């Protein structure tokens, strides 16, 4: 009986992580921040394949420095596109973009960078409020699954058409670079189920081992009894 149950438990443990990984691959499109939101925050919208950065700028130019190549750079003022020229340089692992444009007030600079998986390190340093918005259906804060470093000053929930999204907010502080490890909201439950199955499997293996030892002892004791009886019979003869 035990020999038939154990393979099924092992198969279940192998299939459960695969199903969870498939579930984690669902991504979401990053929405634009409202003008009011973007004027106060540098906001990074995370996806599993890209990150969209929106930050406030003023004046007639801006020097953007990133650790990852920036794409689809654009500038808007009051939802109106602003013409700009871009001079790009790359030196020793650093991308520098010199942006020149007509004088603007409360404009929003937007660009995209590549992102892979569920670990993110901010590509820019900011000396103002920073907000990192996780994909819909994802969370952070479980030390076994992933946390944000440094810890955010507060966490908010943003209502979006694709679903509620968790926003991690760091208040105004000296330039900082943040790292966020995030995971599917269902992942902790899947991990708990996996651990429970492993515990059951370990218990069943232990019980099977104990029963096997007892059977071996019974066989050995039976053989000893047969040998002793045979020896006594020979002595009597």
Task: Estimate to the nearest angstrom the gap between the alpha carbon of 115 and the chain centroid.
Answer: 12
Beta strands in 67-190 (DSSP E): 71-77, 80-81, 84-91, 94-114, 119-121, 130-133, 138-139, 148-149, 154-158, 165-170, 179-181, 183-184
Out of 1.10.10, 1.10.150, 3.30.870, 2.60.40, the CATH code matching 31-185 is 2.60.40
125 by Cβ neighbours in 10 Å (0-12 / 13-18 / 19+) ranks as middle
Angle separating helix axes 2-24 and 187-236, nearest 10 degrees:
170
In the sheet with 179-181, reading across from the earlier edge strand, the strands are 119-121, 179-181, 148-149
- Label residue 218 left, alpha or beta by phi (over 0 means left) and psi (-120 to 50 means alpha): alpha
Instruction: Say if residues 149 and 84 touch (Cβ distance below 8 Å).
Output: no
Instruction: Say if residues 43 and 55 touch (Cβ distance below 8 Å).
Output: yes
Q: What is the pTM for the complete model shown?
A: 0.66
Domain boundaries, given as residue ranges, for the chain: 2-18+189-236, 31-185
Q: Which residues pair with 84 in a beta bridge?
A: 101
Residue 54 sits at φ, ψ, to 5 deg, of -130, 125
Task: Estimate to the nearest angstrom the gap between the alpha carbon of 198 and the chain centroid.
Answer: 23
Residue-level pLDDT, tens digit, the chain, 237 residues: 444 444 333 333 333 333 333 333 333 344 544 445 545 678 999 988 899 999 998 888 899 988 889 999 999 998 899 999 999 999 998 999 999 998 887 899 999 999 877 888 887 766 678 899 999 999 999 888 889 888 899 999 888 777 789 999 988 655 567 889 999 887 556 566 667 778 778 888 888 888 888 878 777 766 667 666 666 665 555
Say which residues have a Cβ less than 8 Å from residue 16's Cβ, sequence separation at least 6.
Answer: 190, 193, 194, 197
Q: Cβ–Cβ contacts within 10 Å for residue 63, how many?
A: 9
Q: Cβ–Cβ contacts within 10 Å for residue 137, how many?
A: 18
């Amino acid at each position: 009986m035990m020999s038939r149950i154990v393979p099924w438990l092992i198969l279940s443990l192998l299939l459960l992580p695969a199903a969870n990984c498939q579930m984690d691959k669902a991504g979401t499109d990053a929405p634009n921040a409202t003008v009011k939101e973007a004027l106060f925050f540098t906001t990074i919208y995370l996806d599993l394949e890209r990150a969209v950065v929106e930050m406030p700028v003023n004046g007639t130019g801006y020097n953007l420095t990133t650790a990852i190549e920036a794409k689809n750079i654009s500038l808007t003022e009051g939802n109106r596109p602003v013409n700009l020229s871009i001079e790009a340089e790359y030196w020793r692992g650093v991308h520098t973009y010199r942006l020149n444009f007509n004088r603007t007030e409360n404009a929003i600079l937007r660009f995209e960078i590549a992102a892979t998986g569920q670990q993110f390190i901010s590509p820019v340093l900011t000396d103002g409020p920073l907000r990192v918005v996780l994909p819909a259906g994802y969370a952070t804060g479980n030390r076994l699954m992933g946390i944000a470093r440094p810890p955010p000053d507060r966490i908010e929930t943003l209502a979006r058409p694709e679903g509620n999204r968790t926003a991690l907010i760091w208040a105004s502080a000296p330039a900082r670079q943040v790292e966020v490890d995030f995971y599917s909201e269902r992942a902790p439950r899947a991990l708990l189920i996996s651990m429970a199955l492993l515990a059951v499997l370990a218990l069943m293996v232990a019980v099977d081992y104990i029963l096997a030892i007892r059977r071996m002892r019974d066989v050995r004791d039976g053989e000893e009894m047969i040998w002793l009886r045979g020896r006594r019979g020979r002595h009597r003869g």
